[in-house]
A and B are shown apart, each in its own frame.
Chain A
Amino acid sequence: MIARLAARTLIVVGIAVILAGVIAELVGAKTSVEWEASIDTSNIPGAAMTVFAFSSSGRVEISVDGAESIYYMTLRGDPMIALRQLSTINISMVDHTLVSDIRAGVAYGAAGLQTNPLLLRTLPLLANILPVEVTTTQAGDVIEVNLTGGNGVLVVVEPSGERVVFHMRYTVSGYSRLDTYTLTILGTITSLAGIVAYSRLTSTRRENK
């Protein structure tokens, strides 16, 4: 019984490994992604951008045009939790865009922030009430953060004009898989081994009967 179950599992695994090779050729993973978002800040005192690596690890580079001051914080877990925490201190999101790029294993988004302008300036003090470390950087600097799976970065900007533009580049690191040729060979061998084992086991049972 156990031997037959193992043989059936081998057949299934072999078929799925061959299929993995086909899927990898058609819609395989991407190792870099670039994105740009423009937020109209004529009526709001701030803008924010978040990048969350949900399945990949990599390096994110964010530059911001139209910023007077920039604060950023790296987060473990879902950055939406941090955004919800911001709402508890009366900073809420307006006009938000969220993109989930499954092929790069990363989600990113930008939003306008509706709040009292003075509150944004107190963000560096946020570390005293939330479990995050807030870093202040100069306008024009490129923010570079290494993200691992399940971690994210949240950038909050105080605008200098009527528009803030975020430029984001994310480069995947540490990713590697078997190539399609190896997967095809491996899948074929595995499923053939399963078929041979299963037919031998079932024919033995018939002979015994």
Chain B
Amino acid sequence: MGLRGLAELALVDSSDSLRPPGFDVMMVIIASLGAALATMQPISEPHVAARIILDPTLFAATLFLALRGSAGVAGLIQRGIVSIYLSYPVSRHSVYTAIVVSRVLLPAATLLSAPLLVAGLVLLPVVSVNPGYYILVFLAYLLQASMYGSFFLLAGLAAKSPGTASVVSITFYFAYNITMLILSAVGAAMGSNIVSGLADAMAFYYMVYRSLLGVGVEVWQLLLVPLLLLAMLLAGYVYFTRRFEPG
């Protein structure tokens, strides 16, 4: 029942997190944006194409995760649906994993891949030269979005109120990005490579992109966001399996 139950629960919850028309409207808009960006510029390298398409998409996907991932989960708790999930013959860690899949991974992967599919078709002669680079940049953006989404999920589970959960999530997202900007500005003003490097490391996709360009990237810069993602997932897991009370 374990893995099958987890998959079934993830599918049940996905029918709420990816429900039309909100999700579809967002997909149409970001896929159209991807189409415009792919055709307006003479992009001639797959990893450059992926970055140009995914930069604005990451912002849209993150806001979606804050609404459906964070506030959505808080709404499920308020309506008593999480209690129903917990009454299924599956363990708490399976329920948590199913919620991570349906509220973070699946929406982020679908939203990020829709404009990438469009750009991949439009720029087929360019992308087919090195599809590995194209997919690698996509995975880097997916990891960054998952890091944001994991925090949003934790906020939703802890807040149990959709309003509070969305405010906390959006505040975290802006605080994270503004910290990145401040560190970058302070690093430039002080001439400190470590501070500037820390600002760069907070954007995992940028580190992957830079390494594909051949610009030197240090190992710790590539590890920061994956470690943050692991820490958020672990914190959510510990909270949900040990302390979470749906009532």
Give complex CA distance A80, B47 in Å. 22
Q: How far is the CB of B200 from chain A (nearest CB, A)?
A: 11
The answer to whether A5 and B14 have CB atoms under 8 Å apart is yes
Task: Find the A residue at minimum CB distance from B31.
Answer: A16
- Whether A20 sits at the interface, judged by CB under 8 Å, is yes
- Whether B215 sits at the interface, judged by CB under 8 Å, is yes
Binds B, one of A44-52, A136-144, A174-182: A174-182
The answer to whether B214 and A105 have CB atoms under 8 Å apart is no
Give complex CA distance A29, B124 in Å. 15
List residues of chain B with CB within 8 A of the CB of A175. Answer: 42-44, 126
Q: Among the listed A2, A55, A77, A102, which residue makes an inter-chain contact with B213, where contact means beta carbons less than 8 Å apart? A: A77
List residues of chain A with CB within 8 A of the CB of B27. Answer: 8-9, 12
- Whether B164 sits at the interface, judged by CB under 8 Å, is no
Chain B interface secondary structure, helix, strand, loop or mixed? Answer: helix
- Whether A41 sits at the interface, judged by CB under 8 Å, is no
The answer to whether B48 and A55 have CB atoms under 8 Å apart is yes
The answer to whether B39 and A13 have CB atoms under 8 Å apart is no
- Whether B245 sits at the interface, judged by CB under 8 Å, is no
Give complex CA distance A13, B28 in Å. 8
A-B CB contacts (within 8 Å), total count = 141
- Chain B 5-47: CB-based contact to A (< 8 A → 1; otherwise 0): 0000001001100101000100110011011101111111101
The answer to whether A57 and B44 have CB atoms under 8 Å apart is yes
- Given known contacts A9-B114, A20-B36, A178-B121, A1 and B15 CB-to-CB distance under 8 angstroms: yes
- Given known contacts A84-B188, A175-B126, A15 and B42 CB-to-CB distance under 8 angstroms: no
List residues of chain B with CB within 8 A of the CB of A172. Answer: 42, 44
Give complex CA distance A157, B24 in Å. 54
List residues of chain B with CB within 8 A of the CB of A124. Answer: none
Give complex CA distance A172, B20 in Å. 41
The answer to whether A15 and B28 have CB atoms under 8 Å apart is yes
The answer to whether B39 and A177 have CB atoms under 8 Å apart is yes
- Whether B89 sits at the interface, judged by CB under 8 Å, is no
List residues of chain A with CB within 8 A of the CB of B115. Answer: 16
The answer to whether A27 and B45 have CB atoms under 8 Å apart is no
Q: Among the listed A5, A29, A57, A176, which residue makes an inter-chain contact with B110, where contact means beta carbons less than 8 Å apart? A: A5
Q: How far is the CB of B32 from chain A (nearest CB, A)?
A: 5
The answer to whether B215 and A77 have CB atoms under 8 Å apart is yes
- Whether B170 sits at the interface, judged by CB under 8 Å, is no
Q: How far is the CB of A127 from chain B (nearest CB, A)?
A: 17
- Whether B118 sits at the interface, judged by CB under 8 Å, is yes
Q: Among the listed B14, B39, B209, which residue makes an inter-chain contact with A23, where contact means beta carbons less than 8 Å apart? A: B39
- Whether B81 sits at the interface, judged by CB under 8 Å, is no
Task: Find the B residue at minimum CB distance from A84.
Answer: B188
Task: Find the B residue at minimum CB distance from A2.
Answer: B11
The answer to whether B43 and A149 have CB atoms under 8 Å apart is yes
Q: Among the listed B39, B118, B213, which residue makes an inter-chain contact with A76, where contact means beta carbons less than 8 Å apart? A: B213
The answer to whether A177 and B11 have CB atoms under 8 Å apart is no
The answer to whether A5 and B31 have CB atoms under 8 Å apart is no
- Whether A121 sits at the interface, judged by CB under 8 Å, is no
Give complex CA distance A30, B34 in Å. 18
- Whether A28 sits at the interface, judged by CB under 8 Å, is yes
- Given known contacts A8-B20, A84-B188, A176-B126, A13 and B118 CB-to-CB distance under 8 angstroms: yes
Q: Among the listed A13, A56, A174, which residue makes an inter-chain contact with B117, where contact means beta carbons less than 8 Å apart? A: A13
Task: Find the A residue at minimum CB distance from B128.
Answer: A176
- Whether A109 sits at the interface, judged by CB under 8 Å, is no
The answer to whether B118 and A174 have CB atoms under 8 Å apart is no
The answer to whether A178 and B124 have CB atoms under 8 Å apart is yes
Residues 49-108 (chain A) with a chain B CB within 8 angstroms? 55-58, 76-77, 84, 88, 102-105
- Whether A168 sits at the interface, judged by CB under 8 Å, is no
Give complex CA distance A13, B15 in Å. 20
The answer to whether B41 and A20 have CB atoms under 8 Å apart is no
- Whether A130 sits at the interface, judged by CB under 8 Å, is no
A residues engaging B (CB < 8 A)? Answer: 1-2, 5, 8-9, 12-13, 15-17, 19-21, 23-24, 27-31, 55-58, 76-77, 84, 88, 102-105, 148-151, 172-178, 183, 186
**Mind listing 9 A-B residue pairs with CB under 8 Å?**
A12-B27, A13-B121, A15-B28, A16-B114, A28-B40, A76-B213, A105-B44, A178-B121, A178-B123
